[in-house]
A and B are shown apart, each in its own frame.
Chain A
Amino acid sequence: MAEEWCRHRGEKVLLVEGVTDCHVVLALCKAHKVPKNFGIYECGSDHKVLQQLNALISAPTPPNIIGVLMDADSPD
């Protein structure tokens, strides 16, 4: 079950695969003093990231900015 802080539904959102990705992004932001002007949404899998992206783009009030963080490797 995703944490609430990892289920951001605002104007600027970064879609990630899993909760580990949320922690990595937060740690990187903290280490490099990146301003907290966006939220993170943990989708659950790479397939669900694509589903979420597809849905958000078509939503009646889509986010202004959507970022996507996906693993480049293929587990299969």
Chain B
Amino acid sequence: MLNSFFVENFRLFHRLEIARLGRVNLLVGKNNSGKSALLEAIEIYASNASVQTLENIVSGRDETWNGKGPTQTQQVSDNPIKHLFRGHHLPGIEEPGISLGTSSQPGEHILLRTAAFQIEVDEENVSRRKRITALEASETASEVEISLIVQQGQKFARIIRLEPNFSVPWKRPFSQTVSHPICICQVVPTRNMSAHQVAALWDSIALTNFGDEVVCGLKLVAPEITALAFVEADGESNAARIPYIRTENSLEPLPLKSMGDGMTRLLHIIIALVTAQNGILLIDEFENGLHWSVQLAVWRTVFRIATDLNVQVFATTHSSDCVSSFEEACKEHPDDGAFIRLQMNREGEPIAKIYSFETLADSLDSDVEVR
């Protein structure tokens, strides 16, 4: 579990430190205060900067378009990965890049930076890449490769070659497995997971206690539900399977969607939670689709399962109902919840304001804004 988190040179963050985290963390803040960016930073950290995660994050924000067309010469600096770096600029060779990790162990931070490599061929005609400095790269007459690397301490691994004239850089990662994930990380985006993704997660837990937990979760909103299954849509064998439910009141199965968007949101949250055992769950805009009256029950379930399965949860919200229900659920788990607001300081840099449980309760009791 992350007890603290440190982000540097990522997206809008020059340097952000969150000194204390809980098992279940609720993040608030105005638009563009960095809530979603912080979730992305945690996801990248948990994945140990996997290429797949970097691709998903950049693609998810429509940042793969370069505006120069496919026929024109593109520069290394045009690589869409640049959008992850503060100011949308790739750092120069060996310059400080993105740094992610816990505050207490700076030596173990994950660093994302650019590095230059010179190809050497030995006597047995085996080529090796030697990491060289920016000065050496500018002076050498031989070919130089510039790559994005992930570094931790003295260890590093190249993850993407940042060459000019690329078309789809993601197709050329050195390896999908150069770095092992630090922990499993499930993500429930603002508009939920893809239908394929949620069906695949269900397959991994169906007919287990975790599957039962999902059905119990759905009962928070619709107590009449007795079973859940994912089925192929008629005549569409390649389409994503869709969730159907059985209820006490109906002889035939019903599509979950017929019970409203809240049920879909609940399904995604609970499935992601039970499949994040010993890892991290990120939920962007927790309350989406959930009526205020069920949010307390959902939070209670999140706290319980997160504790039972050793999951650390990070959720964002804009909703005061969501904050109130979170605070109510926190009363039963006073040591497990953390409420954090991202805001700009006087210099315009994002900072994290951590509320104590007492201050959060005082604010809600006094009807003082916390978001």
Chain A residues in contact with chain B, CB under 8 A?
Answer: 43, 48, 51-52, 54-56, 58-61
Contacts and interface: CB of A to CB of B under 8 A. Distances in A.
Nearest to A56: B368
Given A59-B363, A59-B369, A60-B370, A54 B341 contact: no
B25 interface: no
B370 A59 contact: yes
B142 interface: no
A52 B359 contact: no
A58 B353 contact: yes
Interface residues of B, number: 15
Main DSSP-derived SS at the B contact region = mixed
A60 B371 CA distance: 7
A52 B367 CA distance: 9
Contacts of B353: 58, 60
B10 to A, nearest CB: 23
Interface in B314-358: 341, 343, 353, 355, 358
B362 A60 contact: no
A55 B341 contact: no
B366 A51 contact: yes
25 contacts: A48-B365, A48-B366, A51-B365, A51-B366, A52-B362, A52-B366, A54-B358, A54-B359, A54-B362, A55-B359, A55-B366, A55-B368, A55-B370, A56-B366, A56-B368, A58-B353, A58-B355, A58-B363, A58-B370, A59-B363, A59-B368, A59-B370, A60-B369, A60-B371, A61-B369
A57 to B, nearest CB: 8
B115 to A, nearest CB: 40
A58 B357 CA distance: 12
Name the residue among B30, B341, B369 with the largest chain A CB count within 10 angstroms.
B369
Given A60-B369, A60-B370, A55 B343 contact: no
A33 B358 CA distance: 39
A51 B367 CA distance: 10
A43 B371 CA distance: 21
Nearest to B344: A60
